[in-house]
Amino acid sequence: MAESQWSDKLSVGDPGIDDEHKTLLDLVEKLRNATRSGQGRDEVGQVLDELVSYTVAHFAHEENYMCEIDYPDYPQHKAEHERLLAQVRDLQERFRLGSITITVSVSNFLSDWLFYHIAWQDKKLVTAINAARQ
Ligand code: FE2
């Protein structure tokens, strides 16, 4: 897919979080393009590092936000973030050690995990965000 996977259907109702999700999806796309166009290991590694650090910052932001609005499913959502982060950090580490290369299928995997997390887990925030606004 040449364009970001973002669509209004993914909106959680908070412009700040939505913008971060757009950036994340764009970063995954950037990674996919870097692997697809056969860019060098350094370039691919740089995009992967950028994706991991942005994900860390975004998850922390989202978790603070969930605490602020007393989101009832916070523990479960946080556990999901930790699981996702562990997976992507593991990929990053194996890439750094040279035991894997980031292929199109690895970037597709990352793209899917992010997309489904936003579409299924983050979308559940909509009701809580709207309620907190009233
Ligand atoms: Fe999330």
Residue 112 CA to ligand 1 center (angstroms) comes to 14
User: Taking 80 as the threshold, does the pLDDT of residue 3 lie above it?
Assistant: no
- Per-residue pLDDT band for 2 (boundaries 50, 70, 90) equals very low
Task: Say what the pTM is.
Answer: 0.88
The pair of three-digit structure tokens given for residue 129, joined into one six-digit string:
């965000």
pLDDT digit string (tens) for 25-82? 999 999 989 888 878 889 999 999 999 999 999 999 999 999 999 999 999 999 999 9
Confidence of residue 103 (pLDDT cuts 50, 70, 90): confident
DSSP string covering 41-58 = HHHHHHHHHHHHHHHHHH
Amino acid at 70: D
| First and final C-alpha spacing in the chain | 38
Compute the distance from residue 76 Cα to the ligand 1 centre, in Å: 10
Q: What is the dihedral of CA 101, 85, 34, 111, to 10 degrees?
A: 110
Question: pLDDT-derived band of residue 11, with 50, 70 and 90 as boundaries?
Answer: very high
- How far is ligand 1, taken at its centre, from the CA of residue 121, in Å? 6
Question: Which residue shows structure tokens 């970037």?
Answer: 107
Closest CA to 24 of 104, 113, 125, 126: 113
Look at residue 63 and give its three-state secondary structure.
helix
